Chains A and B, each alone.
Chain A
Amino acid sequence: MTPTHRAKLFFRSIAIVVASAGSLAAAGAAQAPTPPVLVAMKEELDRSMAAMSNGDPAAYFISSTVADRQYSEVSGSNGALLTSTETRARWLEVQTRVGTYQLDDTHKLADRQPSWTSPGTSIVVDDDIPVLRREIWRETNRQFRAAGEALIKVKTSQQVQVQTAEGNAPDFSREKPHVSIGPRVEIKVDRKPWEEKVRAYTAAFSKSPEVLNSIATFTALGMNQYQVNTEGTQLAFSQIHYRLELYVQSKAPDGMDINRYANFDWLNPKDAPDDKVVFARIQVMTAETEALDKAPLVDPYAGPALLTGRAAAVFFHEVFGHRAEGFRQKDINEGQTFTSKIGEQILPEFISIKDDPTQPALDKQMLLGNYAFDDEGVPAENVQLVDHGVLKTFLMSRSPLVSIPQSNGHGRRQLGFVPVARQGNLIVSSSKSVTNDQLRQQLIEMVKAQGKPFGLLIDDIAGGFTFTGRQQPQAFQVLPLVVYKVYADGRPDQLVRGVDIVGTPLVSLTKIVATGDTPDIFNGYCGAESGSVPVSAVAPAILISEMEVQKKETSTDKPPILPAPAHDSEDKGQRQ
């Protein structure tokens, strides 16, 4: 660094302090000082709005978001390190809305696929206000120009478009401003011990000759998000998340892919899972893999089924949660399963469902869908979606419905996508619960009553994908990974594989007859239109009077011809 350059940076930091002091006075109260990024964002926001609100077309709303992301990833496979990286990056997104809250450039046109990705750019990580401002200025101009072009298309198309009921809903909701400057978080990750761990974890999987491939990935995320908008919102908030994922792949003799997955999530480095716990999980996963390899294929079946809590949580997330996302009610291409059902009984009266992102944990277990502000700067709200079986409302972003004009803090997205209404912590509760043992007994009684030889116990479901579009059949597919036949005559449970659930969502939801009394948590990343977002689903075990299953499609790719090198007695390889 040249002396002059050093001096310049020094003066810049003085300027930051002065600016911060000014903002602090304005914000009042015991807020942390305004971070330099936010100073730059605010300065450009004010300058842009002053000019663009008088532009043609005029901007009525501008917001900018900077996500300052620290991310470490250590990944191992088959006993060796795969990657070990650490990155820090700042991503800028600017939104300039032209037109009015009622009709603006983002208005969805029936004949056009909406763009789910949101433009943005990497910007400097150094707290250099002039350079930050230059980047924000450039991005704001770019977005303003694009918005103007988009509004012309909307206006010309608007004249010929058939109006739907929800087509009259405004394009953007008016929200109160929020000012909250939280502390900046920083994570310090020593990757070395994790490099050793992921090697050891995946080496443990490799002991089984049935395991074809295993991956263990440790990730650490420290994110500081900054948001400002022309309504007066100014936010600095943060998120920390540590995660360990285990994944193992195998193939049944007929070529069917077998895989098992487990994840551990924690907020505080001291809560990292102990090696003993991880190795125990690896042992269970390996045993399940080996058992699934040998398990018989399921035959098509319709009858009673018991879903354990974790499986039920995924089930509710897929079958109910996605359909309660507000933006789907607005889109005529969507199935709109629940659109006209507010106030109606859609579930048994003993079931209630809320989505509560404000809840950080349940029984000391982290809830991954926890956040203070959503990605549109709206505070997260606890939303009662179903009260004693009656549908009350939808999850809302700032894209309102005629009947629901306000966001309830569920506008979420992965960086680089446009926020839409998404789930946070979906929590299912029941007023008709029995112990899990009693629930199993009820299953057997129901099997007998229906004259079936067995019922199904679904222990683990992979977050599948939900067909919510109108073009697809109104059916959902979730992928049960661990399923047992529970025999009425007292024979031991039998593991089966290749199970696919079939059915229509509304029907299956009404067939819940009882629930267990212990809520189980599923933490995961949910992929949908606005990318992958962290979510939790919480549910007790559920008993369904009738569930229909079919055989899963088999892969044509048979298991490898030769045995694994490490388990090949004929191999002459020297170094093992």
Chain B
Amino acid sequence: MRTFSAVALLAAFLLIVALPAATFAQAPVPPTETDQTLHAMHDEMERSRTRLQLPGVDKPFYVEYRLLDIDVRSVTSSFGALIASNDTRNRFMSVDVRVGDYHLDSSNFVSEDGFQGFLGTTGEVGIDRDYNSLRQDLWLSTDQAYKQAVTQMSLKQSFLRSLTKPPEIDDFSQSTPIVKIDPLVKPDWTSRNWEEESRQASAALLKFPNLNATRVNYYLVYFTYYLMNTEGTTIRTSRSLAAIEAALDTTAGDGMSLHNFYAVYVSKPGDMPDPATVGKSLAQAGTELGTLRQSPIVSDFTGPVLFQGAASGALLAQALAPSISGSRPPLSTMPAFDEMMQRMGGRSEWSGRVGTRVLPVGMSLIDDPTLKEYNGQLLLGNYDYDDEGVKGQRVPIVENGTLKNLLMSRRPGPEFQASNGHARSALLSDTRPLSSNLFLQANGGLNAADLKKKFIGACRDDGHEWCLEIRSMDNPAISSIRQEDFSEFIGAVAGGVASGERVPLVMYKVYVADGREEMVRGGHIEGLQLRSLRNIPAYGDDVTVYPYMQNPSGGFAGTALGAFGSAQGGIPSTIVAPSLLIDEVEVRGFHGEPRRLPLVDAPPLTQ
């Protein structure tokens, strides 16, 4: 009873401000449109907008439908034999209903209590693309979402009353309605035999009998994303992605478990490299892992570290993610929720620093979803409109070392209100401001030889016989053969990522005396945070395009853990960056007890 009277009071107050919202109308779907999905979404939304109301409570001021129509082919092989081959077709919906108004609405609030509906606001829907069943599903979810919003609003109101100073930031920013209905794309898997290609490619690893296990995953996906809201936005857009991700696993002579991975991403199945090419790359990864297996363990080290090529992109993916979002976190009644976000590295180091210097003078950071490629290389983070229907914009985050902008969704933050088209998600997860194609650019980069010279000089000046150069960083989302290995990794590093724990994969000692290089294994980095990038001694004039998938599951996106994703459910992203020389990096060697070697030798891989 109390709940509802509080809501009723609130409703009476909100009616005045909420009035303009009621005047919004949906964009009509042209009668000639044959896509029944659009018609069903439109008709059920229109009915909800005009007639969905509990007695004594206000109508929703905002209704949003997201629908994902997804076709996936995935094939996994190991050592030339097939493990799994699946074709799946699914459709998912997600319904958002808000009560209140743009300043104060039912969103941005996390609470233990709340409405427990029997069906929920998200779910699988029929794959026939028919009208009737989709309306039925949307009807039930909209009903649940509305009731949830009403309950959330009342809980949020009482929570706000308990605060000495409620936040003044709006809950939701205004946005221009967009109507953009792209043609439907029919999946083209090509005539290539993907099972056979994955068998063939993975057979290249038969030449590496020291590998304990391997997994070569082919993942081909086509999807159509629908977005409709009561502000008048209607978007239908189709995309595709094709990926090969492979994990290789071995044990060193002292029992240390080691792995390597390989990943390639293209925009459609037809662009996939042929199995011979993939086999060659896998063999390279196998050779590299073989060398790693034979290499000595690194000892503790603090000093200059050179992040070469892709290693610098991978480092930035972890270090930058939490700090480039400008949206405020949701209000929460649960201290545990805040703690969890902190633990996962969700804390922004750049929060409140707009206008101050955060990177070296001369260095800029730009996120640009409008670009499709860079120097002929695919940029995975390209899109026209973000997942909230806002046009993707080029955002100069850092100009000449000074923090100027942050990435914004329609959830405002303390510094910026409006969205700049960076609300992203995968598989209809909650949208968050995330990077798309992130460019770290700088004038005065050194060529490879000069950078090496500078690196060795810095090393000598610091009094070392050798320093470390990192060529690649680990991504356990891909390099773990089993899901539980990844969970174990996450459990182990989750506490450390916020404080700057990073996991290198391929690392070399570079000797000051003669520039000799020696691969080493077993080290991880501690305390490497974003502020270490504020003053960096040198960077290269090289540019490496590092494609990766941001992981939206478990609330990882927008935290340092978000950098560990895979094509399965990941958010396609790219980082373009030069090699970076960073001072005062702390590398911890291996200190645990290596595990016992297998009592039984591996059986022969070939007969």
Contact = CB atoms under 8 A, between A and B. Distances in A.
Decide whether A and B are members of one complex.
yes
Given A5-B200, A125-B83, A564-B136, A134 B130 contact: no
Contacts of A556: 115-116
Contacts of A174: none
Interface stretch (B117-125, B360-368, B461-469): B117-125
B86 interface: yes
Interface in A551-566: 555-558, 560-562, 564-566
A52 interface: yes
Contacts of A138: 212-213
A358 interface: no
B39 interface: yes
Given A89-B84, A251-B118, A131 B605 contact: yes
A78 B36 contact: no
Contact of B136 (A76, A206, A555): A206
**Residue in A52, A78, A88, A212 with the greatest tally of chain B CB atoms within 10 Å:** A78
B54 interface: yes
A186 interface: no
A85 interface: yes
Contact of A562 (B52, B76, B212): B52
B600 A565 contact: no
B135 A565 contact: yes
B140 interface: yes
Contacts of B78: 124, 131, 135
Given A80-B133, A565-B139, A574-B43, A2 B607 contact: no
Classify the interface of chain A: helix, strand, loop or mixed. mixed
Interface residues of A, number: 74
Nearest to A126: B81
Contacts, number: 200
B127 interface: yes
A2 B201 CA distance: 11
Contacts of B90: 83
Interface residues of B, number: 72
B449 interface: no
A12 B86 CA distance: 26
A79 B81 contact: no
A144 B144 CA distance: 50
A130 B595 contact: no
Nearest to A127: B81
B517 interface: no
B377 interface: no
B513 interface: no
A351 B599 CA distance: 55
Interface string B48-75: 1001111000000000000000000000
A555 B81 CA distance: 51
A89 B75 CA distance: 12
Given A80-B126, A129-B607, A562 B51 contact: yes
Contacts of B604: 130
Nearest to B600: A51
Interface string B568-607: 0000000000000000000000000001101110111111
A140 B116 contact: no
A80 B137 CA distance: 11
Given A12-B607, A81-B126, A557-B118, A141 B143 contact: no
B349 interface: no
Contact of B83 (A52, A123, A257): A123
B124 A144 contact: no
Nearest to A133: B603
B261 interface: no
A188 interface: no
A90 to B, nearest CB: 8
A121 B140 CA distance: 39
A550 interface: no
B53 A561 contact: yes
Contacts of B44: 565, 573
Nearest to B603: A133
B82 A125 contact: yes
Interface string A254-266: 0001000000000
Contact of A48 (B77, B84, B213, B600): B600
Contacts of A81: 126-128
Contacts of A280: none
B375 interface: no
B132 A557 contact: no
Given A134-B213, A138-B213, A557-B147, A44 B139 contact: no
B166 interface: no
B603 A130 contact: yes
A122 B602 contact: no
A79 B126 CA distance: 8
B404 to A, nearest CB: 47
A145 B600 contact: no
B88 A85 contact: yes
Contacts of A206: 132, 136
Contacts of A135: 78, 213
Contacts of B307: none
A451 B424 CA distance: 68
Given A141-B598, A557-B115, A8 B79 contact: no
B482 interface: yes
B146 interface: yes
A89 B86 CA distance: 10
Contacts of B144: 557
**Residue in A15, A80, A82, A572 with the greatest tally of chain B CB atoms within 10 Å:** A80
A68 to B, nearest CB: 12
B223 to A, nearest CB: 16
B126 A77 contact: yes
Given A12-B607, A78-B132, A566-B136, A141 B127 contact: no
A375 B397 CA distance: 59
**Residue in B43, B53, B81, B118 with the greatest tally of chain A CB atoms within 10 Å:** B81
A571 interface: yes
A83 B605 contact: no
A44 to B, nearest CB: 7
Given A80-B127, A82-B127, A574-B39, A131 B80 contact: yes
B335 interface: no
Contacts of B236: none
B602 A137 contact: yes
Contacts of B46: 572
B31 interface: yes
A1 interface: yes
Contact of A134 (B43, B85, B124, B603): B603
A571 B126 contact: no
Contacts of B156: none
A47 interface: yes
Nearest to B53: A561
B605 A565 contact: no
10 contacts: A8-B80, A77-B137, A83-B124, A124-B81, A131-B605, A133-B603, A562-B51, A565-B139, A570-B51, A575-B39
The 4 A-B pairs with the shortest beta carbon distances in the complex, nearest first, are A80-B126, A80-B133, A573-B43, A124-B81
Interface of B: 31, 36, 39-40, 43-44, 46-48, 51-54, 76-90, 115-119, 124-128, 130-137, 139-140, 143-144, 146-147, 196, 199-200, 203, 212-213, 481-482, 484, 595-596, 598-600, 602-607
